[in-house]
Amino acid sequence: MTHLSTPAATDPAATARETLDRATRRLLDLQLPSGAWKGELETNVTMDAEDMMLRVFLGIDTAETRDRTARWIRSQQRADGTWATFAGGPGDLSTTVEAWIALRMAGDKPTAEHMVAAREFVLTAGGLEQTRVFTRIWCALFGWWDWSELPAMPPELMYLGKHVPLNIYDWGCWARQTIVPLTVVCTLRPKRRMKWDLAELLTGTTPKSQRGGVPGAFNKLDKGLHLYHRHAIGPVRRNALRRAAEWIIARQEADGGWGGIQPPWVYSILALHALGYPLDHPVLRAGIDGLEGFVISEDTADGPVRRLEACQSPVWDTGLALNALLDAGVDPRDPALRRAADWLMAEQITVPGDWTEQRPKLPPGGWAFEYANDNYPDTDDSAIIVMGLRRVITTHGPVQEQAVSRGIAWTAGMQSKDGGWGAFDADNTSGWPAQLPFCDFGAVTDPPSADVTAHVVEMLAAVGRSRGARCQRGVQWLLDHQETDGSWFGRWGANHVYGTGAVVPALVAAGVSPKAGSIRAAVRWLEAHQNPDGGWGEDLRSYDDPAWIGRGDSTPSQTAWALMALVAAGELGTSLTRGVDYLANTQQSEGGWAEDRFTGTGFPGDFYIAYHLYRLIFPVWALGRAVQALHGGDRGDPTPRSSRPLRSSDTSRGPRVLLEVSEVATRESDQ
């Protein structure tokens, strides 16, 4: 793709406007006929390796799926023989082991040059013994690891009430959905032996989970659970397995999956199969068939490849795109925005989910991230969607009003006791699950985070509730969680640039003065971390190594996050201009941007995401706000016009939903 040169005009507003216009046209061109937007959600090859292992284990693999998957995995191997968890990151032991196993299943000889290079890294990094528990579970399924040497996770967890430590609702929703089926798998211990072993990947060292990495009491608990496994009370265990199976089946989604994400989907299939469900049972058939909807197939110079998305993000992408286009100046009556609004209204979840364990009286009304995940709507999507949906002028006024009212009430009602918002659950802050030897990979709870809380605060301010108790408690939570350097940690995006880019606009929208010390500190941090090319970037290694905080190659999405914060803070000078110039200089001829780095976060330190639409949506959003500010429309009020709450007289710009919400919405949102 060719890049466009910076517009000849020296006026930064003109540069921003021309760059924005091209990007807006590109984003509109990418809308699906349904009205949604959906970009690829790219992760790493563990998705593809585990898909192959699942199919081999179930006996449903084919030469075609093996060949295409293996071709993709080989294409992602780095020059040093390893596979990483994100582009440009260091080699990862568990990812490399799983990729090596998948290629071995596909027929690659262990003596092949690329296999030898991977093996050498594995041995240098500690061997199979030092991989994560999930990798060794896969090895146990094929007889390469002893089930008794894995941490115990009994299905009797299903008996624990929600006030008992380590009950399943102590876990975050993604972990809960994975742990329940794994209690079945790790209890029944199914095995499908291969004709070859993994002896060449072993070093003879002590496995990681047995090296005292958790408090002694939990190591003793694990030993006790292993002892119980050998002497489990038959009826008690059988009933626990039955409860687990019923829980799993009750949470299967319309697309056949579980939670819309790969781990619980795959382990639920394995669990039910281990319990004796045949592959042609409707539940398993739907689950296996549904995975095909996550497959991306394409032709490459080396031949056709097959890769699996870990998740899909159409609701999130559409909500973000809607806000970006509105702030870019697209008419709220535009047919494209109306189609998007209609699609989002149809996606609203109006049935209870697992979140009712903590908020049993709260009426439903949120949105999920994926096409199908009714059990787990999330506050982040819901806040973003409410901000956009309320501003579109549709032909379904009453339905739209009800959707927005429900969304406000549900999202606000999910506030945690400390004033912040987690993504999927309220008050999901137990410290117990993370202490178990089993939990050596990824976040397992869902405590409030700065980025999610910021989006909810900005939404509440946008609907005229900046002075409400919920919004004010959210503002205080954000102020209390500012880092000493002036930034905010980013839980779901990389990293402090994402957190700061979300929080500053929210605080200003909620009434914090751009001159306040917290905002000034954030601006200083952003300006200090602007790259020489005018952009911003933060390497994902910042989650593990503080030396990387705010440092990394510039990317369009991260630059956009920083620009949104600067605009909100009223900083329209050199830093903003240089950031706009970076976007103008790197824009491609069709109006979009290239972005090789991953800037999304699944589990800090462990699992990362490249959202393929971030590189376009966020620049459109940031440039739209910058154009408004640079043209003087918002001088003295850095909150974009389109984000301000409508007044009752503003009937020409959108539905009158903000000051006329239902009694339930008002009660739930302002308490």
**Rounded to the nearest 5 degrees, what angle is found at the Cα of 601, between the Cα atoms of 309 and 447?**
120
Identify the domain boundary among 308, 341, 367: 308
- Is 432 domain-assigned? no
113 assigned to some structural domain = yes
* Domain boundary residue, one of 259, 286, 308: 308
304 and 319 housed in the same domain: no
Same domain, yes or no, for 317 and 298? no
Count up the domains in the chain and report the number.
Answer: 2
Of the candidates 268, 284, 308, which is a domain's last residue? 308
Same domain membership, residue 73 and residue 84: yes
170, 222, 378, 380: the catalytic one is 380
Q: What is the mean pLDDT of residues 491-509?
A: 98
The three-point CA angle 473-640-487 to 5° equals: 50
Would the pLDDT of 654 be above 90?
no
Whether the Cβ atoms of residue 539 and residue 86 lie closer than 8 Å to each other: no
Q: Clarify whether 92 is annotated catalytic.
A: no
Note whether 75 and 150 are same-domain residues. Answer: yes
Q: Which residues pair with 600 in a beta bridge?
A: 493, 609
Pairing of strands 600-603, 303-308: unpaired
Query: Per-residue pLDDT tens for 307-332?
Result: 999 999 999 999 999 999 999 999 99
pLDDT in tens, 537-580: 999 999 999 999 999 999 999 999 999 999 999 999 999 999 99
Q: Are residues 141 and 230 in the same domain?
A: yes
Closest C-alpha to 381, from 290, 452, 286: 452
pLDDT at 227 exceeding the cut of 80: yes
378: helix, strand or coil: strand
Q: How much of the chain exceeds pLDDT 70, in percent?
A: 91
Amino acid at 295: V
> Could you tell me if 409 and 365 are in contact, meaning their C-beta atoms sit under 8 angstroms apart?
yes
For range 238-251, the mean pLDDT: 97
Mean pLDDT, rounded, of the chain: 91
Whether the Cβ atoms of residue 632 and residue 372 lie closer than 8 Å to each other? no
Do 658 and 561 lie in one domain? The reply is yes
- Distance in angstroms (rounded) separating the CA atoms of residues 223 and 229: 10
- Altogether, the residues listed in the chain come to a count of 671
CATH of the domain at 511: 1.50.10.20
Residues 108 and 131 in one domain: yes
Instruction: Give which of 107, 67, 102, 64 is closest to 83, Cα–Cα.
Output: 102
Confidence label for 216 from pLDDT (cuts 50, 70 and 90): low
Residue 12 inside a domain? The answer is no
Residue 593 · residue 543 · CB < 8 Å = no
Question: Residue 413 has what pLDDT?
Answer: 98
CA separation for the pair 403, 386 (Å, rounded): 8
Q: Are 159 and 233 in contact, with CB atoms under 8 Å apart?
A: no
Same domain, 21 and 60: no
Q: What pLDDT is stored for residue 354 in this prediction?
A: 96
Look at residues 587, 589, 578 and name the one whose alpha carbon lies nearest to residue 626: 578
Q: What is the pLDDT of residue 520?
A: 98
Q: Per-residue pLDDT tens for 567-618? A: 999 999 999 999 999 999 999 999 999 999 999 999 999 999 999 999 999 9
Q: Average pLDDT for residues 267-274, to the nearest whole number?
A: 98
Residue 443 included in any domain: no
Q: Residue 163's CB: how many other CB atoms inside 10 A?
A: 8
Instruction: Print the domain residue range for 627.
Output: 17-41+312-427+449-670
